[in-house]
Amino acid sequence: MELPLSAFAHSTTYLDTAGAGVLPRCAVAAVRELAEAAGAGLPAGAGDFGVVERVRSSFARLVSVDPRRVAVGSTVATHVGLIAASLPAGAEVLVPEREFASVVNPFVLRGDLGVRFAPLDSLAGAVRPHTALVALSAVQSADGRAADLAAVRAATAAHGARMLVDATQAAGWLPFDASPYDYTVTGGYKWLLGGRGASYLTVSREAQSGLTPLHAGWVAAESKWDAVYGPMRQLATDARRFDESAAFLPYYAAEPSLALLERIGVEAVHAHDTALAARYRTGLARLGHRPVPGDSAIVSVPGLAHRQPALEAAGIRTSARDGALRASFHLYNTEADVDRLLDALTG
């Protein structure tokens, strides 16, 4: 399928989806319509929970799980915090070195867990018989390295540990199946093309019984409209028990954005994004630069972080992370964008 570049209206060479995605025109329109209705005091301005349910189902299809395994929320850290709260004191949590903070801090700040770090490439071999949980990103935020999720899953299964995968830098461009994992968390404002304030937690049926919905409000009830006042009669029987009350504006953005990704297909997006990244890597080699190896849509070049401000001033949006220049390529990018970045780095 030909990628619909006309679906976007950005005016810069935007190469920072790993930081935040560009909203499609249809998402901007949906948010504007809701905001204008709210500003006019119209009933539609109160928002529609049906939108949230459609987003839940759309996300579930994108990551190949039953919607009953998906909880919605606002941030990855909140989802991870819920999982951290479920662990007994003294439990060991294994995390890659230099992992994204939202995956690490909720465990460290408990203060009574044994948080251990290991290199990403040898994480599977670092799982021990007493490891309770392994938490990692499918794709590293800083440099785009992809984890060997199958190897880590085999190791956790062999030792009876649970596994948490942050798919924020994967879902939307990398075909990702959430079903093998006890938990996954995904921020919706990057490769999924939504706004900040939409995030997704998947929980296996087996793991659901081990989580206490500590932030449960009325939306976590089996029948939410019968649970507005007083203690709820019954929690939702599936992962909806872990829902936060959704912020409607980002979920109104998420509905058309996820629908767009579904129409195109993640496989087509993957082929497009990685082809652009490969073109960039080839050009970097010609210039004598050595990016972090891999075939990710995220390309990080150590030692070039200082070039980011000048690129920004020239209308080329990248980011500086951990001393490196990070560029990330998504469905609204073209070969011309890659070549413009390379030309700027040549100068």
For 223-264, the pLDDT digits (tens) are 888 888 989 899 999 999 999 999 999 999 999 999 999 999
The residue whose two tokens read 């994480």 is 123
- Under the banding of pLDDT at 50, 70 and 90, the label for residue 273 is very high
- Same fold: 5-23+264-346 with 32-262: no
Question: Mean pLDDT over residues 182-210, rounded?
Answer: 96
What is the predicted pLDDT for the residue at 1? 55
The burial class, CB within 10 Å (0-12 / 13-18 / 19+), for 199 is buried
CA distances from 147 to 96, 136, 332 (A): 10, 8, 26
CATH code of the domain made up of 5-23+264-346: 3.90.1150.10
Q: Are strands 70-73 and 199-203 parallel, antiparallel or unpaired?
A: antiparallel
What is the predicted pLDDT for the residue at 25? 95
Residue 332 backbone phi and psi in degrees, to 5 = -90, 5
Question: Mean pLDDT over residues 154-173, rounded?
Answer: 98
Dihedral (CA of 38, 40, 43, 44) sign: negative
pTM recorded for the entire structure = 0.94
Domain boundaries, the chain: 5-23+264-346, 32-262
Residue with the larger pLDDT of the pair 92 and 5: 92
Question: Mean pLDDT over residues 259-282, rounded?
Answer: 97
Question: Mean pLDDT over residues 104-116, rounded?
Answer: 97
CATH topology classification for 32-262: Aspartate Aminotransferase; domain 2 (3.40.640)
Residue 197 has pLDDT above 60, yes or no: yes
Question: Mean pLDDT over residues 282-286, rounded?
Answer: 97
Task: Determine the Cα–Cα distance for residues 72 and 84; give it in Å rounded to an integer.
Answer: 17
Neighbours of 114 (CB within 10 A): 15
- Under the banding of pLDDT at 50, 70 and 90, the label for residue 126 is very high
What is the predicted pLDDT for the residue at 230? 86
Residue 347 has pLDDT above 80, yes or no: no
